[in-house]
Structure 1
Amino acid sequence: MRLMKEKITDFFHSIGLFSPLDFTDPVTYFIPGFILLILGEIFLYQIPQKVFTKRLIKDNVSSIGLGIGAVMLDFGMKAISLSYFFWIYNHLRLTDIFGIKDFNDFFTLKWHLDHWWLWLLVMIVQDFGFYWHHRLSHKIRLFWTGHVNHHSATHLSLAIALRQGWFEIIYRDIWYIPFIIIGFHPIMIAMMHQFNLIFQFWPHTNAIGKLGWFDKVFNSPSNHRVHHSRKVEDLDNNYGGILMIWDHLFGTYKAEEKKTTDYGIYHNIHTYNVFHIVFDEFGNMIKDIRNAPTWKAKLGYIFNAPGWHHNGKDERIATLKRELKEKKIN
């Protein structure tokens, strides 16, 4: 096992990349807990509530399939992301205030106890970066092709948290570049991103109700049910990974009014085939680009919000919400 690890590490180093095996991924330590919680949700909530249906099982299985594929892709992308993170940190950083002076100290408990404030600051800036990554993944169709996979499940369960988009892995780390330039250490940003993902696991459930003040400050099952709802009034809300303060600040927070069972995307794709789930929206975008009559329209299908059409009905979420509001007024 050690020999294999050395060969993999040597391979990445030989092509000038950071080895992902040099990075201790905290997610790996939580996998047994994820499995236990998924089983607990099934036996303590879904079966007693009689919601453990064949469709839910299929959604769960396809989500786990997407998760396995994402882990494999993420292994390679870590090498690329951490490599350009370190290059930027070593050549372009503006300050050493938020860095690690002696990296050997990073592996001691004392350093972390002395720098608890730095971890808190990293959590805040990383979550801010995640908010904008998440929000733009809903607002720009090119990015939506990578994120839609996570939303195409028609149920909400802890297994759905594993339903990670494959294309999204390619671009998700670019949002942290400004913080690397400011001087935050790449390893701390990368680790906090993984801790953010770990935190986002538990809100993917119907088993937990509203949590009072907690819902207003942090991401929670109540907030995330709104985010995964396909009801027009709920779409494009609650983007925060850990904190809800960004949604409050930028006008995208929506409290849960009534627990929904209508999950998915505006036009559900009704498939459990992993590869269909991954490539469906990307294929639709390519088809729209090919059929667009002008370069302006072609670019529109890449950079406009999902649902934009150069002719025909405008199905962008902002338009659908405006039409719903006008309908209620009339």
Structure 2
Amino acid sequence: MNYILYAVPFFFGLIALELLLDRWRGLSTYRFSDAINSLSAGVLSTTVGLLTKVVGVFAYTVAWQHVALFELSASSLWVWLFAFVFYDFCYYWNHRLGHERNVLWAAHSVHHQSEEYNLSTALRQTSSGFLFGWIFYLPMAVAGVPPLVFLTVAALNLLYQFWVHTRHIPKLGWYEWLFITPSNHRVHHAQNAVYMDRNYGGVFIVWDRLFGTFQEELDDQPVVFGVTTPLASWNPLWANVQFYVALWRDAVRAESWWDRLRIWFMRTGWRPADVAAKYPQHKADLSQFVKFDVPLSLAQKCYAGVQFSLYVLGGTLLLGLGNDLSLAQVLLGVAWMAVGLYVLGVWLENRPSAKRLEVLRLLLNLPAAWLAVQLGLLASQPLLWTLLLGYSLLSLGALFWTPRGENAVPA
């Protein structure tokens, strides 16, 4: 069962509830473009996951079949409880090293780039975590945890983490000693020096207490959310490659071949001495921290919101079809989602090329739909073409009616 798919309506329902709480309590924990960017990263991640999840599943299954030390039964309750705790232990180390090693942080940093903290941040996930993440869970295969149990507890672990991404819930007393809570996870998303690289557990905070990575949220140290090297973009594709590009640039600039190789696996933030001297990086003063933003008109926001809703529906459809899709169908779906979300990011940044790219995207919808029909992803029905043509014409009309704001990001 795809638990994430069935949870999607609850995710958006709780986001709506949090927005109402914001208004009721006079808080402002959401910004339009930031939330759309976080959700776009999540939609892209689940779509790309249709291609990449096979890496981890295949590696886990092979290890379980050939090197498992025990035969654990999926019909035993204690196996499920053991697997749930064991998974969080493995997640702790995956998560911790994801902060402590350059190449792993390149993937995980996507989740931390938002400068807000709300339930949309929980859905902000990487599209490249599949590269190394599967390695950390092989001990579960060796212990004999069946793949079905592993996949289920992985989904439950991820679902638990959703609710802790909020600023509306205070400390929870004794619960803070055993479990991850909104308070101790707010610490995890901070860029304050006192809070950085702390509280890695997914469900249980006990691992952090055992291994010395726990930090309590302090009343006199308000959390500043985000990363010390800001993304400064609303583009989910750039969000996923930003730190990889930074590492590559430093590797190319380094004079030593040894430095070019080891930079990827050194502690996060490590740079070759010659590169650091020639290309210094300046960290922002948190006392003067200014969140990245590009002002948009209400019309621009409405247009972006409507277009993004289409991609949420498309991503949900692809996730629902899941294993029934052929490789060609998945590739088409991923390409359609990536192009659309990229153009949406350009729109949110109010770049001069935004309208031209949006026209191109709308024009490409028709050949993309035709190809989807040929591949069997969509049924060939007159209603489909009528709706698609109507949507494209209405969008083009709204596009040219929507004025471009003055405060735009330059080309």
> Which TM-score band (shorter chain)?
0.7 to 0.9
Q: For residues 167-196 of structure 1, give each alpha carbon's deviation from its aligned partner in whole angstroms, at most 9, with x where no partner exists.
A: 113322221111101211111111111111
Q: Output the CA distance in 2 between the equivalents of 1:76 and 1:125.
A: 26
Partner of 2:47: 72
State the Cα distance separating 1:84 from its structure 2 match: 2.4
Relative to structure 1, the CA distance from residue 71 to residue 251 in structure 2 (aligned partners, 3 Å threshold; closer, same or farther) is same
Relative to structure 1, the CA distance from residue 58 to residue 99 in structure 2 (aligned partners, 3 Å threshold; closer, same or farther) is same
SS of the equivalent of 1:268 reads: coil
Partner of 1:32: 9
Q: Output the CA distance in 1 between the equivalents of 2:189 and 2:55.
A: 30
- Once superposed, what is the RMSD of the aligned Cα atoms? 1.9
Partner of 1:60: 35
State the Cα distance separating 1:269 from its structure 2 match: 2.3
Structure exhibiting the larger radius of gyration computed from Cα positions: 2
Partner of 2:70: 95
Q: Percent identity?
A: 29
Residue correspondences, number: 277
Partner of 2:104: 143
Q: For residues 6-34 of structure 1, give each alpha carbon's deviation from its aligned partner in whole angstroms, at most 9, with x where no partner exists.
A: xxxxxxxxxxxxxxxxxx22111211111
Given the two structures, how large is their TM-score scaled by the length of structure 2? 0.64
| 8 Å contact from structure 2 (residues 56, 130) kept in 1 | no
Q: Output the CA distance in 1 between the equivalents of 2:58 and 2:104.
A: 22
Report the AA paired with residue 71 of structure 1. Answer: T
Is 1:276–2:229 an aligned residue pair?
no
Superposed, 1:1-330 pairs within 5 Å as 24-45=1-22, 48-51=25-28, 56-96=31-71, 98-100=72-74, 111=75, 115-258=76-219, 260-311=222-273, 312=276
| 8 Å contact from structure 1 (residues 46, 52) kept in 2 | no
| 8 Å contact from structure 1 (residues 94, 183) kept in 2 | yes
State the Cα distance separating 1:52 from its structure 2 match: 5.2
State the Cα distance separating 1:139 from its structure 2 match: 0.6
SS of the equivalent of 1:232 reads: coil
Report the AA paired with residue 66 of structure 2. Answer: H
State the Cα distance separating 1:47 from its structure 2 match: 6.2
Point out where structure 2 has 5 or more consecutive residues left out of the alignment.
284-411
Partner of 1:11: none
SS of the equivalent of 2:263 reads: helix
292-301 vs 248-257, greater mean Cα deviation: 292-301
Q: For residues 197-244 of structure 1, give each alpha carbon's deviation from its aligned partner in whole angstroms, at most 9, with x where no partner exists.
A: 100001101010110111121011001110001101100000000001
Report the AA paired with residue 34 of structure 1. Answer: F
Q: Output the CA distance in 2 between the equivalents of 1:289 and 1:61.
A: 33
Report the AA paired with residue 248 of structure 2. Answer: I
Q: Output the CA distance in 1 between the equivalents of 2:47 and 2:132.
A: 16
| 8 Å contact from structure 1 (residues 93, 183) kept in 2 | yes
Relative to structure 1, the CA distance from residue 47 to residue 289 in structure 2 (aligned partners, 3 Å threshold; closer, same or farther) is farther
Q: For residues 248-294 of structure 1, give each alpha carbon's deviation from its aligned partner in whole angstroms, at most 9, with x where no partner exists.
A: 11100111112734100112222112122111111001101111111
170-179 vs 277-286, greater mean Cα deviation: 170-179
SS of the equivalent of 1:303 reads: coil
Point out where structure 1 has 5 or more consecutive residues left out of the alignment.
1-23, 101-110, 318-330
Q: Output the CA distance in 1 between the equivalents of 2:117 and 2:130.
A: 22
Given the two structures, how large is their TM-score scaled by the length of structure 1? 0.80
Report the AA paired with residue 119 of structure 2. Answer: L
Partner of 2:342: none
Q: Output the CA distance in 2 between the equivalents of 1:26 and 1:163.
A: 17
State the Cα distance separating 1:116 from its structure 2 match: 2.2
Q: For residues 42-71 of structure 1, give each alpha carbon's deviation from its aligned partner in whole angstroms, at most 9, with x where no partner exists.
A: 112256424156xx2211100110001110
